[in-house]
Amino acid sequence: MHAEPLTPVEDVRSRAWDDRIGRFLLTRSPLGSVVRWVAGIRAPVHAKLLCAFMLIAVLFIAMGGMSLQTIANMNSQSQLLDEAHERVHWSQEIQHALALQMNFTAMALLLRDEATIANILRENNRFNNTLARIEKASQPEERGLIQRIRSAQEEAVTTVADIANLVRDGKLDDAMKLQLSKEYPLYLQIDGLVNQVLHREREKMDRFRASVAAANRKTLILMASFAAALIVLALLLGFVISWSFILPVQEAHGFLSQVAKGKFDTTINVPNRDEFGALANRMNQMSEQLHRLYESQRRGSQELQRLNDQLQQASKAKSDFLANMSHELRTPMNAILGFVEMLLDEIYGEVPPDLREPLTDIQTNGKHLLRLINDVLDLSKIEAGRMELVLAEYSVQDVVETVRSSLQSLALEKGLGFVAAAQDDIPLGYGDGRRITQCLMNLVGNALKFSKRGRVSLWVEQQGDNLVYRVSDTGIGIPKDQVENIFTEFQQLDTTITREFAGTGLGLNITKKFVEMHGGRIWVESELGKGSTFFFSIPLRVNDGGTP
């Protein structure tokens, strides 16, 4: 028995000893081949069980029948024994009657009364009746003996009658003589014969008793052997049939354990051609199917892995390219913006009034281009997984002030009201202050961009351990069906990429990424035509190890 991880430990322990005996018998005796033969019988399990039970039941019924017959036999024998006993009893009674008869005959000589003579006759009758009974029950070879007794008795009775007559006539001496000369020897003769009968009957009874005892012993031995054989047969049948079931079940158990471990190319082999055989066939089909599925899935996942690797390489190449490009773009931007600023700062001398506007336009668009480059760079770094927050303590008030001072002029230009403030008592935050500022610049910048009139407000407050930033505008609002998409990456937006590129797409996406890197979340509430409010909530103090 191999240790299966699926088998509970107690089960193995409780099964260990009988299982070991079973295994021993199967391998070291012909029982193994019998078990295989039974397993190989093409018959359903219940038919096999029924056959076994029927066989045992029939043999038990046969044994029951035999027992009944034995009991009947014993009954008749005990009746015969009774009869033999009775015959012995009768013989004794005859002896008794003879003795009394003799006694009364002797008494008649002394008492000479009729009553005693009548007693002699009564005993004589008893003698005759009992003798008739014995004769009736006797064997032919005993009849001669009984005949002799009867004739002797008849003679004795005749002699008694003579003696009685002599007594009545008062001839006592003659009676006495007759008694001594004839009657007494006759009695002795009869007594001897009766003794012979008694002896015979006794012998017969003893013989019979011995033969009955021997027969009983034989029957007992026979029945005991039969019962023992029956028990052995039942055990054998039980063993063979149960193992013809246990073996395939254990095979199936091992097989299923293998399958559960993920070895789908396992097969199960059982000699059974019953339900267990059918089950094993099904299991093999199942494992074949699983193996096929597993193989195709493995090939699929290999293919997927390969594609994924390719995709990752492509994505990394793209990110690297974007990072390099963005860097390369920065250097000329530095010169462009630097020279324009120097021109406007009149480093090169006074700027004619009609040149100031186009120079300012160059500066505005240059800054916008720079922002886009920065966004593309940020996004490519985030995608490549190379964006890291620079965590430090920062003042929320300072962040709000930076945003306010940077964008105030834009609000003024558009004639929009702009309020940016934070709750007074917010303690120092811990996070990437520059990225948080960037997020707010994106949100407030968008709010100013999409509002034609009204006001834009930025408010920060502490809620428990979190900071909640809120940017509200009175702009065009966001249609409900786009609220979900507004933070998704620009790749997922349709053909409006270029428009979104210049607008909110990148900024919002980057903002969302930075908020999430801080362990926070961003959401928007908007009403079409009335305005939008963007919220983001980040921990006041970001967990150092918790940033992704």
Give residues in contact with other proteins (CB under 8 A): 323, 326-327, 330-335, 337-339, 341-342, 345, 347-348, 370, 374, 377, 381, 386-388, 390
Tokens of 35: 């078990």
- List CB contacts of 532: < 8 A, sequence separation 6 or more: 447, 450, 472, 473, 475, 477, 478, 524, 525, 526
Shortest reach from residue 544's CB to other proteins, in Å: 15
Nearer residue to other proteins within complex by CB, 216 or 374: 374
Shortest reach from residue 386's CB to other proteins, in Å: 7
Nearer residue to other proteins within complex by CB, 290 or 370: 370
| 3-state secondary structure string across 365-412 | HHHHHHHHHHHHHHHHHHHCCCCCCCCEEECHHHHHHHHHHHHHHHHH
Bridge-based pairing state of the strands 417-422 and 531-539: unpaired
Shortest reach from residue 437's CB to other proteins, in Å: 13
Instruction: Give the sheet arrangement for strand 455-463, strand by strand.
Output: 417-422, 455-463, 466-472, 531-539, 521-527
Shortest reach from residue 546's CB to other proteins, in Å: 18
Shortest reach from residue 539's CB to other proteins, in Å: 21
Nearer residue to other proteins within complex by CB, 384 or 421: 384
Q: Which amino acid is at 81?
A: L
Q: Which amino acid is at 174?
A: D
Residue 335: CB atoms within 10 A of its CB come to 9
Shortest reach from residue 443's CB to other proteins, in Å: 20
Nearer residue to other proteins within complex by CB, 238 or 385: 385
Shortest reach from residue 403's CB to other proteins, in Å: 18
Nearer residue to other proteins within complex by CB, 438 or 526: 438
- List CB contacts of 473: < 8 A, sequence separation 6 or more: 446, 447, 448, 450, 451, 454, 455, 456, 531, 532, 533
Nearer residue to other proteins within complex by CB, 326 or 526: 326
Nearer residue to other proteins within complex by CB, 294 or 339: 339
Residue 325: CB atoms within 10 A of its CB come to 14
Residue 144 exposure: Cα atoms within 13 Å on the Cβ side? 1
Shortest reach from residue 455's CB to other proteins, in Å: 30
**Between the CA of residue 187 and those of 111, 166, 359, what are the distances in Å?**
20, 19, 179
Tokens of 349: 């001398």
Numbers of helices and strands, H then E, in the chain: 14, 7
Nearer residue to other proteins within complex by CB, 9 or 390: 390
Shortest reach from residue 399's CB to other proteins, in Å: 17
Q: Name the residue among 522, 388, 32 with its Cα closest to residue 244.
A: 32
Shortest reach from residue 310's CB to other proteins, in Å: 26
d(CA 140, CA 135): 9
DSSP state of 180: I
Nearer residue to other proteins within complex by CB, 370 or 421: 370
Shortest reach from residue 409's CB to other proteins, in Å: 15
d(CA 310, CA 304): 10
Nearer residue to other proteins within complex by CB, 342 or 502: 342
d(CA 398, CA 429): 11
Buried b / exposed e along 135-162 (16+ C-beta atoms within 10 A) = eeebeeebeebbeebbebbeebbebbeb
Place of tokens 């074949």: 288
Nearer residue to other proteins within complex by CB, 87 or 381: 381
Shortest reach from residue 346's CB to other proteins, in Å: 10
Could you give the angle at which helices 396-414 and 433-450 cross, rounded to 10 degrees?
20
Shortest reach from residue 418's CB to other proteins, in Å: 23
d(CA 119, CA 278): 96
Q: Name the residue among 324, 301, 305 with its Cα closest to residue 313.
A: 305
Nearer residue to other proteins within complex by CB, 262 or 332: 332
Nearer residue to other proteins within complex by CB, 156 or 387: 387
